[in-house]
C-alpha cells in the first residue's frame, strides 16, 4: 500500500523566495508545493544550497538544467547530459525551472547520492527514510476517518461538487503558499480552451471554486502542478525465473523512488533518487485510480478538462494500469464507473449528457476504433471547436456497461503485436475521450449566466462542457530486431519525444506529432494532467526506468491553469436536446388538445360518414402523439440525472465480464437508431397504440409503414456506412492503383515498342524477299518471252519438218507446264508472305498500318505481274495449240505426199499404163522422186539434228534457271518445274 505525504499549510514569506526563470521576470516570486514536499520528505539529509526558509536537495535527475541567477538555462548543456535515449531527449529545452535552481543552488554543492539511505542486500526495498525535519513544516497527523487517512485540511477548498461526494477522498495539498505566484511557465497565456466559441463565457475561477487540487499537489493560485504517480510493477515470471533483482527502492511514505545503492555501486551508476506526488508498487489498480486519476475525473464532471496518461517503457505496465484486467480494472473502467457514480451522487438538480469516442494513433495515422473502416482521420481546427479529429464516431452513452462494451469493441480493433520485450505490446497510442456536458435542470439555455460570486463553478443556465482524455501511450522503444516493430518504434519514439518537448518547452511543436496536436488543448494548460509513469523493477531495464523517472520529474514541474468551460452555445448537444424536448412537448400538448377536440366532435357527430372522418383524424392524431412521445422519451433517456442512474447501472467488478454484444444492440441501447426511443425497456414502441386500436386495420397499416420506414432508414444508414468505408478504401488504394497503372502502362508500352521493332524487321525481311521475288518474276517473264519467240520460230520451221516440230512442241508444252507450276508456286509464296506480313503488321500503330499498306501494294503489284505471266502462258498455250494444228496439217500433207509418191513408183502402174514410152517416163519420174525424197530426208534429218541441238541447249538453259531459283530459296516453289509436274 502506498502512503502519502500530508502537510499542514505553511506560510512562507514571499520575500524569502527567490525565483528566476527564462520566461518570468526576476522579480516574480514563486514556489512549487512539490518542491516543499520534496524538501519535507528528504529529511535531515538534505543540504541547503542557500540560506532561506526552504532548503532543497538536488537529485540526479535535475542535474544539467540548473538555472542560476537571472540567466536562462544553458540548453546545450542540458542536451548533452540528457539526450542519451529518446525518452531522455524529451527533456530538451526544458523551460520549467528546477526546484533547485529556484534557490540558486549549484550541483557541486551536494555530493552525489549523499541522501541515499544505506543499501539493503538483494535489492530489497529500503527501510523507510528517517522522519522529516520539523523545521517550519509540521508533519501532518493522519486521521483514520478519511479514506485516505486524513481529512481534507487544505486551505484550498475543493470544487463544490466534491463535498457532495461521499466517496471522494481529496487529500490535502502539501503546502499552501498564499500569494506566491506560479513558479514555472505561465501556461495560461497560451491557453487554448478545448472548446471555445464566440458565445463562450468561461468563468475565470478562483482557486476556491474551479481549480481542483490533485491529491494534495496543488500549487499556487496561478496554476496546478501536473500530478505524477510512479508505479512499479512486480517482476514478471520470466524476470523472476531469471533471478533478476529488484533494483529500485520505493518508499511510499515519502513518495520516493531511488536506485538501490547496491546496484548503483556494482554498476558504477549514480544512486539517483526521485520524489513524486505518489508512488505505487504492486498490482492494486483501485489504489492507483484513487491516487492518480480520480480527482481529474471528478474535475471533468465539474467542467474542467482532464487528461490522464500512462507513460513508460514497453512492458512496464501502461496497459495494465489504464485498462487493467478483469480482477483489477484499470483507470479507464474505473473512471467510467466513477463518472456514473458521480452523477448518481448528485442532488438531482443537474443533468448530464455523455459522449465517448475512441481512437488510436498508429504509425502517425489516426484510426477510429469505434468505426475501424475510418482510417487516416484528419485533425482540424476552427474557432468554435478548437482542435478536433474528424470524422470521428462519437456515441452518446447512458450506462457504464454500455461504455465498456464500446471500449471492448474498440480494443478489438487496436494494434497489438509481440515485441522482444512484450508478448502483447500496444503498438499505438490510444485516446479514449469522454465529453461531459452538464447544466442545471430546468434552466433555459438562453438564460443569462451567473458567473462567479456564488462560490460555485456551475453558472446557472449555462452548459459546461469538458473533455476527459484517458490515454494509453505506446511504450518508449528500445532497438528491436523486427523490421515492422522498428518502424512502429520510430513513430512511437518520435511522438513521445514531441510530447516531452511540448510538456517541457516554451517552443510548442504541437504539430510535430499527431498525439500532441490532438492533445493541444489539454497540453496548452487548459486541463488537469495526471501522468502515471510505469517502471520495471528489473536491473536490465534500469536505464530505461531512469529515463522514465527523468521524464516524470520534468512533468512534475509543469503547472497548468485548468478552468471550467461554460458555454451558451448551440453546439452543446445537451442544449440542443433540451430545446428539442421543449419544442416537442409544446407540440405534444397542442396535439393532445387537437385530439381532445376530435374526440368530442366524434362523439357529437351524427352522420356515419362524419363520424368515420373524425375517427380517422383521431387515429392519425394518436400516431403523431406517439411519435412525439417516443422522441421525447428517447431524448430524455439520453440525458442523465442522479435519478436515472441506479446502482444496477454501475459496474459489478466481481461479476464475470460482460460478453461483447453485437454492434446493433449497442446502438439500440445507445438510442442511436432512429425511432427506437425505448432505451431502458420501459415500453415497447407503439404497444399502447396497438392495443388501443388493434381492431383498426388502418392503425396496423400505419405501424407497419413506420416499421418499414425505420427498417429502410436503418438499411440506408448501413449502406451509407458501407459506402463511406468503400470510399475510404478506394481513396487509400487509389495511389496504389495509379502507381500500378503507370507500371502497367510502361510495361505494355515497352512490349508494344518491342513488338513494333519485330514487325518492322519482319517487314524489312518481307520487303527484301519480295524484291528478290520481283527479280525472279522478271527473269521468268524474260524466259517466257524467249520461249514464245522460240515457239514462233519452231512454228515457222515446223512447216518444213513436222516430226521435229512435234518434238519441239512437246518440249515447249512441258516447259510451259513447268513455268505454270513455277508461277503457281510463286503465287502461293506471295500469298503466304502477304498473310505473314498482315499478321506481323496487325498492330494498331499507324506506322505498322503504313507498312502493311505498302506491303499489300507490293503484293497486289506482284499479283498483277503473276496474272500477266499467266496471260502470257495462256497465250503460249494458244500458240502451241495452233502450232499443234499446223503440225497435224503438215503430217497429213506429208502422208498424202508419201502415198502419191509410192503410187507413182509401183509396177502395177507400169502395166496398167501400157506402152514402153509411158512406162519409161514413169520409171524416170519415180527415180527422180525417190532422189528428191532422199534429198528431202537428208535435209530434214539435218534440220532435225539442228533442232535436237537447239532443244539440248534449251534444256541446259532450263537447268541454269532451276539452279538460279534454288539460289533464291524458291526450290519448293519451283520444284514442280524440275519434276515436270503441272497443274
The contact set with ligand ATP (CB under 6 A) reads 233-234, 236, 283, 312, 314-320, 422, 424-426, 474-475, 534
End-to-end CA distance of the chain: 116
314 is in an annotated binding site: yes
CB within 8 A of 738, min separation 6: which ones? none
| Distance in angstroms (rounded) separating the CA atoms of residues 91 and 245 | 29
Residue 164: alpha-carbon gap to chain centroid: 47
By beta-carbon proximity to ligand ATP, the closer residue of 230 and 343 is: 230
Nearest in space to 239 (alpha carbons), one of 311, 316, 313, 312: 316
Distances in whole angstroms, Cα of residue 75 to Cα of each of 71, 80, 98: 11, 9, 13
369, 471 in Cβ contact below 8 A?
A: no
CB of 318 to ligand ATP, least distance (A): 4
Alpha-carbon gap, residue 142 to 6, rounded angstroms? 8
CB of 328 to ligand ATP, least distance (A): 8
Please say whether the beta carbons of 152 and 188 come within 8 A: no
Query: Using an 8 Å Cβ cutoff, are 544 and 478 in contact?
Result: yes
> Toward ligand ATP, which CB reaches closer, 339 or 497?
497
- Output 421 or 787, the one with its CB closest to ligand ATP: 421
C-alpha cell belonging to residue 785: 518471252
Distance CA 371, CA 393 (A): 7
Minimum gap (Å) between residue 726 Cβ and ligand ATP: 32
Q: How many CB atoms lie within 10 A of CB 831?
A: 13
Q: How far apart are CA 8 and CA 137, in angstroms?
A: 7
Taking the complex as a whole, the smallest distance from the CB of residue 283 to ligand ATP amounts, in Å, to: 3
Residue 220 gets the label, from left (phi > 0), alpha (psi -120 to 50) or beta, of beta
Show the cell assigned to 637: 433517456
Q: Who's near 334: CB < 8 A, 6+ residues apart?
A: 285, 286, 289, 293, 324
Choice between 398 and 495, CB closer to ligand ATP: 495
**Residue 629: C-alpha distances to residues 320, 619, 622, 623 (Å):** 45, 15, 10, 10
Q: How far is the CB of 487 from ligand ATP (least distance, A)?
A: 15
Provide, rounded to whole angstroms, the least separation between the CB of residue 151 and ligand ATP: 29
The smaller minimum CB distance to ligand ATP, of residues 233 and 566, is found at 233
Q: Which of 530, 395, 409, 422 is nearest to 476 (CA)?
A: 422
Instruction: Report, in Å, the least distance between residue 658 CB and ligand ATP.
Output: 21
Element (H, E) at 257: strand 256-259
Nearer to ligand ATP, 100 or 320 (CB): 320
CB neighbourhood size of 744 (10 A): 11
98 in helix, strand or coil?
coil
C-alpha cell at 171: 487529500
Q: Cβ 273 to ligand ATP, closest distance in Å?
A: 21
User: How far, in Å, CA of 977 to CA of 224, rounded?
Assistant: 114
Q: What grid cell was written down for 969? A: 530459296
CB nearer ligand ATP, residue 161 or residue 317: 317
Work out how close the CB of 70 gets to ligand ATP at its nearest, in angstroms, rounded to a whole number.
41
Tell whether 313 is in a known binding site: yes
Q: How wide is the angle at C-alpha 823 spanned by C-alphas 821 and 825, nearest 5°?
A: 70
The dihedrals phi and psi of 973, each to the nearest 5 degrees, come to: -65, -35
**312 assigned ligand-binding residue:** yes
Cell of 851: 507498312
Between residues 317 and 685, which has the closer beta carbon with respect to ligand ATP?
317
Residue 315 is labelled as binding a ligand: yes
Q: Minimum CB separation from ligand ATP for residue 436, in Å?
A: 27
Distance, in Å, from the CA atom of 758 to the CA atom of 972, rounded to the nearest integer, reads 26
Nearest distance from residue 543's CB to ligand ATP, in Å? 16
Cell numbers at residue 290, please?
484513487
* Residue for grid cell 512437246: 810
Nearer to ligand ATP, 23 or 236 (CB): 236
Rounded CA separation 51/40 (Å): 16
Asked whether residue 606 is marked as a ligand-binding residue, the answer is: no
Instruction: Pick the closer one to ligand ATP by CB: 89 or 422.
Output: 422
Return d(Cα 678, Cα 671) in angstroms, integer: 8
Distance CA 188, CA 488 (A): 35
Residue 236 beta carbon to ligand ATP: minimum distance, rounded to whole angstroms: 6
Pick between residue 19 and residue 421 the one whose CB is nearest to ligand ATP.
421
- Please give the DSSP secondary-structure letter assigned to residue 423: T
The answer on whether 318 is annotated among ligand-binding residues is yes
Hey, is 329 helix, strand or coil? strand
**Residue placing its CB nearer to ligand ATP in the complex, 251 or 316:** 316
We find the least distance from the C-beta atom of residue 628 to ligand ATP, in angstroms, to be 49
State in angstroms the smallest separation of the CB of 282 from ligand ATP. Answer: 6
Interstrand relation of 528-535 and 227-232 (parallel, antiparallel or unpaired): parallel
Question: Which residues does residue 416 pair with via DSSP β-bridges, in sequence order?
Answer: 426
Residue closer to ligand ATP, measured from CB, 159 or 317: 317
**Binding site for ATP: which residues?**
312-319
**Binding site: which residues?**
312-319
Amino acid at each position: 500500500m502506498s502512503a502519502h505525504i500530508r502537510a499542514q499549510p505553511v506560510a512562507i514569506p514571499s520575500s524569502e523566495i527567490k525565483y528566476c526563470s527564462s520566461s518570468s521576470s526576476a522579480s516574480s516570486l514563486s514556489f512549487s508545493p512539490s518542491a516543499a514536499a520534496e524538501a519535507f520528505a528528504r529529511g535531515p539529509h538534505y543540504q541547503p544550497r542557500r540560506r532561506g526558509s526552504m532548503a532543497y536537495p538536488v537529485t540526479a535527475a535535475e542535474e544539467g538544467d540548473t538555472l542560476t541567477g537571472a540567466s536562462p538555462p544553458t540548453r546545450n548543456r542540458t542536451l548533452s547530459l540528457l539526450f542519451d535515449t529518446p525518452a531522455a531527449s524529451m527533456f530538451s529545452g526544458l523551460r520549467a525551472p528546477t526546484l533547485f535552481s529556484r534557490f540558486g543552488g549549484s550541483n557541486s554543492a551536494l555530493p552525489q547520492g549523499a541522501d541515499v539511505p544505506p543499501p539493503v542486500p538483494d535489492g530489497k526495498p529500503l527501510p523507510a527514510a528517517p522522519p522529516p525535519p520539523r523545521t517550519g513544516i509540521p508533519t501532518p497527523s493522519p486521521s483514520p476517518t478519511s479514506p485516505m487517512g486524513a481529512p481534507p485540511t487544505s486551505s484550498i477548498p475543493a470544487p463544490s461538487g466534491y463535498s457532495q461526494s461521499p466517496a471522494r477522498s481529496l487529500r490535502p495539498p502539501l503546502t499552501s503558499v498564499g500569494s506566491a505566484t506560479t513558479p514555472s511557465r505561465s501556461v495560461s497565456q497560451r491557453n487554448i480552451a478545448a472548446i471555445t466559441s464566440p458565445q463562450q463565457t468561461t468563468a475565470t475561477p478562483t482557486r476556491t471554486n474551479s481549480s481542483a487540487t490533485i491529491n494534495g499537489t496543488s500549487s499556487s493560485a496561478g496554476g496546478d502542478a501536473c500530478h505524477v504517480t510512479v508505479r512499479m510493477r512486480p517482476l514478471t515470471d520470466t524476470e523472476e525465473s531469471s533471478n533478476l533483482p529488484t533494483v529500485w527502492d520505493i518508499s511510499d511514505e515519502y513518495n520516493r523512488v531511488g536506485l538501490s545503492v547496491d546496484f548503483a555501486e556494482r554498476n558504477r551508476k549514480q544512486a539517483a533518487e526521485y520524489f513524486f506526488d505518489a508512488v505505487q508498487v504492486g498490482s492494486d489498480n483501485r489504489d492507483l485510480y484513487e491516487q492518480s486519476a480520480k480527482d481529474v475525473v471528478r474535475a471533468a464532471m465539474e467542467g474542467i478538462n482532464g487528461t490522464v496518461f500512462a507513460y513508460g517503457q514497453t512492458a512496464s505496465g501502461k496497459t495494465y494500469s489504464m485498462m487493467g484486467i478483469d480482477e483489477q480494472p484499470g483507470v479507464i473502467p474505473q473512471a467510467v464507473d466513477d463518472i456514473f457514480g458521480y452523477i448518481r451522487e448528485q442532488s438531482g438538480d443537474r443533468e448530464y449528457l455523455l459522449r465517448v469516442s475512441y481512437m488510436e494513433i498508429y504509425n502517425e495515422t489516426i484510426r477510429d476504433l469505434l468505426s475501424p473502416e475510418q482510417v487516416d482521420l484528419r485533425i482540424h481546427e476552427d474557432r468554435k471547436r478548437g482542435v478536433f479529429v474528424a470524422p470521428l464516431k462519437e456515441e452518446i452513452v447512458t450506462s457504464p456497461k454500455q461504455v465498456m462494451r464500446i471500449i471492448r469493441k474498440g480494443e478489438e480493433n487496436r494494434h497489438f503485436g509481440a515485441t522482444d520485450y512484450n508478448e502483447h505490446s500496444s503498438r499505438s497510442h490510444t485516446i479514449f475521450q469522454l465529453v461531459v456536458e452538464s447544466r442545471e435542470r430546468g434552466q433555459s439555455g438562453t438564460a443569462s449566466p451567473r458567473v462567479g460570486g456564488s462560490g460555485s463553478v456551475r453558472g446557472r443556465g449555462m452548459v459546461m462542457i469538458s473533455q476527459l482524455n484517458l490515454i494509453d501511450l505506446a511504450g518508449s522503444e528500445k532497438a528491436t530486431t523486427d523490421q515492422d516493430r522498428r518502424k512502429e518504434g520510430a513513430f512511437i519514439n518520435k511522438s513521445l519525444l514531441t510530447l516531452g518537448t511540448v510538456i517541457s518547452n516554451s517552443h510548442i511543436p504541437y504539430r510535430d506529432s499527431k498525439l500532441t496536436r490532438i492533445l493541444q488543448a489539454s497540453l496548452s494548460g487548459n486541463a488537469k494532467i495526471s501522468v502515471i509513469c510505469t517502471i520495471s523493477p528489473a536491473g536490465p531495464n534500469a536505464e530505461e526506468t531512469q529515463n522514465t523517472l527523468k521524464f516524470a520529474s520534468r512533468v512534475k514541474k509543469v503547472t497548468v491553469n485548468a478552468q471550467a468551460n461554460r458555454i451558451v452555445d448551440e453546439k452543446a448537444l445537451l442544449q440542443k436536446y433540451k430545446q428539442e424536448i421543449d419544442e416537442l412537448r409544446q407540440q405534444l400538448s397542442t396535439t393532445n388538445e387537437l385530439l381532445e377536440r376530435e374526440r368530442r366532435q366524434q362523439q357529437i357527430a351524427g352522420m356515419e360518414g362524419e363520424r368515420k372522418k373524425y375517427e380517422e383524424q383521431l387515429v392519425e392524431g394518436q400516431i403523431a402523439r406517439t411519435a412525439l412521445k417516443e422522441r421525447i422519451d428517447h431524448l430524455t433517456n439520453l440525458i442523465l440525472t442522479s435519478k436515472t442512474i441506479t446502482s444496477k447501472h454501475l459496474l459489478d467488478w466481481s461479476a464475470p465480464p460482460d460478453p461483447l454484444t453485437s454492434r446493433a444492440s449497442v446502438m439500440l441501447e445507445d438510442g442511436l437508431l432512429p425511432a427506437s426511443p425505448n432505451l431502458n425497456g420501459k415500453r415497447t414502441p407503439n404497444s399502447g397504440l396497438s392495443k388501443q386500436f388493434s381492431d383498426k386495420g388502418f392503425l396496423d397499416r400505419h405501424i407497419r409503414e413506420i416499421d418499414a420506414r425505420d427498417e429502410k432508414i436503418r438499411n440506408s444508414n448501413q449502406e451509407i456506412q458501407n459506402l463511406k468505408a468503400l470510399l475510404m478504401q478506394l481513396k487509400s488504394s487509389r495511389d496504389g492503383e495509379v502507381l500500378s497503372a503507370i507500371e502497367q502502362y510502361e510495361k505494355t508500352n515497352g512490349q508494344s515498342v518491342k513488338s513494333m521493332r519485330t514487325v518492322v524487321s519482319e517487314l524489312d525481311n518481307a520487303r527484301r524477299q519480295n524484291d528478290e521475288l520481283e527479280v525472279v518474276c522478271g527473269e521468268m517473264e524474260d524466259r517466257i518471252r524467249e520461249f514464245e519467240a522460240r515457239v514462233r520460230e519452231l512454228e515457222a520451221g515446223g512447216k518444213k519438218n513436222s516430226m521435229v516440230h512435234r518434238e519441239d512442241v512437246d518440249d515447249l508444252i512441258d516447259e510451259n507446264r513447268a513455268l505454270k507450276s513455277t508461277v503457281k508456286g510463286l503465287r502461293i509464296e506471295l500469298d503466304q508472305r502477304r498473310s505473314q506480313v498482315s499478321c506481323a503488321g496487325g498492330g494498331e500503330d499507324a506506322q505498322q498500318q503504313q507498312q502493311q499498306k505498302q506491303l499489300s501494294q507490293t503484293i497486289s503489284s506482284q499479283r498483277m505481274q503473276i496474272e500477266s505471266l499467266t496471260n502470257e502462258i495462256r497465250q503460249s498455250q494458244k500458240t502451241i495449240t495452233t502450232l499443234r494444228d499446223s503440225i497435224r496439217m503438215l503430217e497429213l500433207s506429208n502422208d498424202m505426199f508419201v502415198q502419191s509418191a509410192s503410187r507413182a513408183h509401183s509396177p502395177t502402174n507400169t502395166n496398167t499404163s501400157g506402152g514402153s514410152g509411158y512406162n519409161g517416163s514413169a520409171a524416170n519420174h519415180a527415180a527422180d522422186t525417190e532422189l528428191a525424197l532422199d534429198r528431202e530426208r537428208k535435209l530434214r534429218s539435218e534440220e532435225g539434228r539442228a533442232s535436237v541441238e537447239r532443244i539440248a541447249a534449251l534444256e541446259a538453259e532450263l537447268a541454269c534457271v532451276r539452279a538460279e531459283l534454288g539460289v533464291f530459296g524458291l526450290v519448293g516453289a519451283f520444284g514442280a518445274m524440275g519434276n515436270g509436274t503441272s497443274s
